[in-house]
């Protein structure tokens, strides 16, 4: 029965057409018992039995004339009606859904373009160049100028030297030498200045005090001989 049903599905008209002045609709098949037996190589009794069962299950309907039979495939007719209803119901939501989906997509594309431009600008920006101001001490020119303005050229050179010696002795590396100078080298310089400054312990004396402190000359008697 399955083979006969598949045969009808494959042979049925995919769309309406005119045959000998008759309109054969989609899902219908104009055939005869002999044609089905010839194509399927089943006996007439087997074909009749299969067609009868398909009619009983309402898979097909058969309209018979003295020359031919028109088999109506109810499965394809039902599919046609279902597709028509589904397409009608789905057209409006689909348009709204497409619009809703396309709107975020447009915004996402704009954001991606903006991010791409920002990345390209960052790539095109010239990298900051650091100079080796002392052995193993690297700073940008603007950092050097800032230190000189704050502490003067002499103290700035002392801080460069201190940081260089520390990094060499300890094997220390900083992400920013400028940050290290502002963090602890400046404090070291302040303590160093306090240590090296020695107060003058000799008090100053006025001229009058010096005159008063001078010893009084002794009086000697002069004798004549």
Place of tokens 């190589």: 41
Compute CA distances 73 → 19, 40, 60, 101, whole Å: 17, 18, 5, 40
Sequence-distant contacts of 96-102: CB under 8 A, at least 24 apart: none
More confident residue, 8 or 120: 8
**Whole-number Å distance between alpha carbons of 76 and 17:** 15
Contacts of 31 (CB under 8 A, 6+ apart): 11, 68, 69, 71
As its CATH architecture, domain 2-77 has Orthogonal Bundle (1.10)
pLDDT tens for 179-214 read 999 999 999 999 988 987 755 544 455 555 555 555
Average pLDDT, the chain: 75
pLDDT for 166 = 93
Map out the domains of the chain as residue ranges.
2-77, 130-196
79-82: Cβ within 8 A, 24+ apart: 80/26, 80/27
- Residue, of 76 and 63, whose pLDDT is higher: 63
d(CA 152, CA 85): 88
The model carries a pTM of: 0.36
């Amino acid at each position: 029965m399955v083979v006969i049903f598949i045969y009808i599905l494959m042979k049925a008209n995919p769309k309406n057409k005119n045959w000998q002045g008759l309109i054969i609709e989609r899902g219908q098949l104009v055939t005869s018992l002999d044609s089905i037996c010839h194509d399927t190589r089943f006996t007439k009794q087997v074909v009749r039995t299969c067609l009868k069962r398909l009619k009983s299950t309402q898979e097909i309907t058969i309209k018979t004339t003295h020359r031919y039979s028109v088999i109506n495939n109810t499965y394809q007719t039902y599919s046609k009606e279902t597709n028509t209803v589904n397409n009608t119901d789905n057209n409006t939501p689909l348009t709204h859904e497409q619009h809703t989906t396309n709107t975020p997509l447009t915004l996402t594309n704009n954001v991606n373009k903006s991010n791409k431009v920002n990345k390209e600008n960052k790539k095109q920006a010239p990298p900051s160049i650091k100079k080796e101001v002392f052995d193993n001490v690297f700073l940008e020119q603007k950092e050097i100028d800032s230190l000189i303005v704050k502490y003067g050229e002499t103290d700035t050179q002392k801080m460069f030297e201190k940081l260089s010696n520390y990094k060499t002795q300890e094997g220390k590396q900083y992400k920013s030498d400028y940050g290290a100078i502002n963090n602890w080298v400046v404090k070291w310089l302040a303590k160093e200045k306090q240590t090296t400054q020695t107060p003058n312990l000799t008090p100053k004396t006025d001229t009058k005090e010096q005159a008063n402190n001078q010893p009084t000359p002794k009086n000697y008697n002069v004798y004549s001989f």
